[in-house]
Structure 1
Amino acid sequence: MSNRAILVVDLQNEYWPTGNMPLQGIEAAAENAARVIAHARSQGDLVVNIRHEIPGGPIFVPGSKGAEINEVVAPKGDEAVITKNFPNSFRDTGLKALLDEKVIKDVIVIGAMSHMCIDATTRAANDHGFNTTTIYDACATRDIEFGGQTAPAAHVHTAIMGALAFLYGDVISTEDFVRS
């Protein structure tokens, strides 16, 4: 096994067009994520599937179809599945302990939403001392509103990826990853 882990964050049915919070570009991002995961498996990388649940919430309700990991990126065999309740995948989960146990040094982050759980998880991984890489075209987000203004998903995604690339690690394409 390598010293690299792929964190597959929140690629759950809730974000697909039939879910309660569809994201722009989720299907293309998931196809890229599937390529990343397949390459990682072929290299002996640790694949960690992370899913969000909100007990009593309007979305990601435990046990609901929306809270299930989408079939395009479904876990295989004995791959770890970690359930979280916060945007930061490390907060109140066993993720850090798992990565330490497996002597992971490099963390690759893919999934959703770029401006929430991808941002929070990537920054936390960096703060924990991991070398981080985010694969930008294997992530998706949505329009966000604030102060009566709407920021289109493409702008939100670009701003987040730019911020992560500035000090939090590498930000690369799926193609660059599978060629590495």
Structure 2
Amino acid sequence: MNRGLVVVDLQNEYLPTGKLPLTGIEAAAANAIRVISHARDTGIPVFHIRHESDEGAPVFSKGSTGAEIQPAVAPESHEPVIVKKHINAFRETDLKQQLEAANVQEIVVIGAMTHMCIDAVVRAAVDMGYPVTVLDDACATLDLTFRGVTVPAAQAHAAIMAAFEFGYATVKSVEDYLAA
């Protein structure tokens, strides 16, 4: 089955110097570099997703440094960059058409944020019939707060990964994925 790698929103905004720093983003990006390199070395097509908000938005503002893809995981010239304005990378983009054009039949997902854009793209992909593998240690998120309860990033991340494993996706570490 032909595999594609979907790299979601590994943008400067999520780095410690950005406006929305994520817990563990540097470790996730370091793992992402390994996965992207492996994909390139083995001929797996890489699809980069970049969130972009309207100019002047508080985060991911069009044309801002924060909206740029992190240099360490920058796309090569032949790799498509799908720009999205919504949480779900399939919504109002040509991601599905790009996957079909590359004859991708299953996808591997890495990136940020686990509880938002990763969650949305995984569930949408599965709903469209794609088998999905998520590399949990190449994803990152942040602490969440709801009605005065703070959920640490590690627990929010684990809850989403557990939900994926329960009924949506295969979840692997980068080490296990690369060893397979």
TM normalised by structure 2 equals 0.97
2:141 alignment partner in structure 1: 141
Query: Equivalent residue of 1:40, what SS?
Result: helix
Amino acid of the structure 2 residue aligned with 1:42: D
Q: CA deviation at 1:77?
A: 2.2
1:105 alignment partner in structure 2: 105
What's the CA shift string for 1:13-42, capped at 9, x where partnerless? 000000000000000000000101001111
Q: CA deviation at 1:78?
A: 1.2
1:132 alignment partner in structure 2: 132
1:161 alignment partner in structure 2: 161
Q: CA deviation at 1:159?
A: 0.1
1:40-79 correspondence to structure 2 within 5 Å: 40-55=39-54, 56-79=56-79
2:175 alignment partner in structure 1: 175
Counterpart-to-counterpart distance in 2, 1:116 and 1:15: 13
Counterpart-to-counterpart distance in 2, 1:54 and 1:146: 25
2:120 alignment partner in structure 1: 120
Q: Which ranges of structure 1 fall in alignment gaps of 5 or more residues?
A: none
Amino acid of the structure 2 residue aligned with 1:86: H
Query: Equivalent residue of 1:67, what SS?
Result: coil
Amino acid of the structure 1 residue aligned with 2:53: I
User: Does 2:140 correspond to 1:152?
Assistant: no
Q: CA deviation at 1:63?
A: 0.6
Counterpart-to-counterpart distance in 2, 1:151 and 1:48: 31
TM normalised by structure 1 equals 0.97
Q: CA deviation at 1:67?
A: 0.2
C-alpha RMSD of matched pairs (Å): 0.9
1:16 alignment partner in structure 2: 15
Q: Percent identity?
A: 55
User: How many residue pairs end up in the alignment?
Assistant: 179
Q: CA deviation at 1:101?
A: 1.4
What's the CA shift string for 1:73-119, capped at 9, x where partnerless? 11012100000011111000000011111111110000000000000
What's the CA shift string for 1:138-171, capped at 9, x where partnerless? 0000001110111000000000000011111100
Counterpart-to-counterpart distance in 2, 1:140 and 1:169: 17
Amino acid of the structure 1 residue aligned with 2:94: G
Query: Equivalent residue of 1:65, what SS?
Result: coil
Q: Which ranges of structure 2 fall in alignment gaps of 5 or more residues?
A: none
Counterpart-to-counterpart distance in 1, 2:4 and 2:160: 22
Counterpart-to-counterpart distance in 1, 2:127 and 2:103: 16
Amino acid of the structure 1 residue aligned with 2:34: R
